[in-house]
Amino acid sequence: MVDLLTGTIRTATPILLAALGGLICERAGIFNIALEGLMLFGAFFGIFGVYLLGNPWLGVGMAILITTLLAFLFAVLIVRFHSDPTITALGVNMLAEGITTFSMKFVFGDQGSIHAAQVVGLPKVRIPLLEDIPGIGPVLSGYTPMVYISWILVAACAFLLYRTSVGVNLRMVGENPKAAATAGIPVTRYQVVAITVSGVFCALAGAHLSMGYVTMFTENMTAGRGFIAYTAVVFGKADPLMVLLASLIFGAAETFSYRAQQFGNIPSSIVMMMPYVITIIALLVRRADTKKKRRPACRAA
């Protein structure tokens, strides 16, 4: 059981971090499916940073710097130059796959996966008091710092959205940009900043994947997690706690699907459908739920 829970948290963290970035964009009225590409950037430049600078935290810094730059470029393209967000996001995803693969081959030769000796991962953190709680101690302690950072960020996002004037403005920009502009809120600036911040979150997600979860970079290693993160945003209705819950459900479904293969003679192809079936059921439940209590803000536009 403990094993299942720790597995769930490990699997959910990269999805959660990227989803928080998607959430902020969603709140600012931006459809951001570039999470996958931004995450891949984070994963590569994290490892590349460690390789160059020798310290995992400097690697994370480099991942944030470069991923944020790409996110800013994406923001300028869709907010300032009004290019189609979906197509541009696809472009960003392809660009990320191309640039990371190309740079990896350029720097590391055509080995194509990086697991050099210089590459050190983020250390595991054991929290002295939590660790000693009987039963759930091992579930709460012993992860890489990025897991704890993701929890703190969930709280920070919730606080920002619901308890600060910046959060109110951001939501207003997303729900009714014209009204926001009339109220004197710089809509464009809010949107650009929101996308740029999502770059930071995706950088953390990617760096966690390549330096925390495993310690290596391989071509296209995000393997669709950015898209699952976007699903978590939609499922969680861009609410930090619900997004956390959604990420955990996806994490649990995947972790459980490995374990389920270990019981009896269930064909693996059926077991592997589970995460997707659970997603569909979750979305249906969510839909039935929102029909009952519709938020007034939805009608505002």
Partner 1 sequence: MKRTAQKFAALALALTLALGLLSGCGPDAPSGSSPAQSPDAGGGALKVALVLTQSLGDSGPADDMNNAMKRAVEDFGIESTTYEALQPEQYEESLRNFAQNGCDMVVASFPGMTEAVRKVAADFPDVKFVHIYSAEDYGLDNVVSVDFACWEANYVCGVAAALVSESGQIGHIIGGEDNTIRANYHALVEGAQSVNSAAAVEQINAGTFDDPAKGKEIALSLYGKGVDVIIGDAGKVTLGIIEAAKETGNYIIGDASDHSSLAPGNVLMDTALGFGAAVYDQISKLVDGTFSAGVGAANYANGGIATTKNTSLAENCTDEALKGRLDEIWDKVAEIEGQIADGTLVVEKVTQ
Applying CB under 8 A, the residues found at the interface with partner 1 are 3, 7, 10-11, 14, 77, 80-83, 87-88, 91-92, 94-99, 101-102, 104-105, 110-113, 115, 209, 213-216, 218-221, 223, 254-255, 258-259, 261-262, 268-269, 272
Least distance to partner 1 from the beta carbon of 231, Å? 17
Nearest to partner 1 of 93, 169 (CB atom) = 93
Q: Computed over its alpha carbons, how large is the radius of gyration of the chain?
A: 20
* 3-state SS record for 105-157: HHHHHHHCEECCCCCCCCCCECCHHHHCCCCCHHHHCCECHHHHHHHHHHHHH
- In this complex, which beta carbon is closest to partner 1, that of residue 5 or of residue 52? 5
Q: Do residues 11 and 253 make contact, with C-beta atoms less than 8 angstroms apart?
A: no
In whole angstroms, the minimum distance from the beta carbon of 299 to partner 1 comes to 30
Cα gap 224→124, rounded to integer Å: 25
Quickly tell me which residue has 């008091």 as its tokens. 129
Task: In angstroms, give the least distance from the CB of 120 to partner 1.
Answer: 13
* Nearer Cβ to partner 1 (115/163): 115
The alpha carbon of 45 is separated from its chain's Cα centroid by a whole number of angstroms, namely 16
CB of 213 to partner 1, least distance (A): 5
Least distance CB 123 / partner 1 (angstroms): 13
Decide: 27 and 171 in contact? Cβ < 8 Å.
yes
What single letter denotes the amino acid at residue 51? Y
Distance, CA of 18 to CA of 94 (rounded, Å):
17
- Closest to partner 1 by CB, 118 or 220: 220
Phi and psi at 83, nearest 5°, equal -75, 160
Which residue lies nearer to partner 1 by CB, 13 or 196? 13
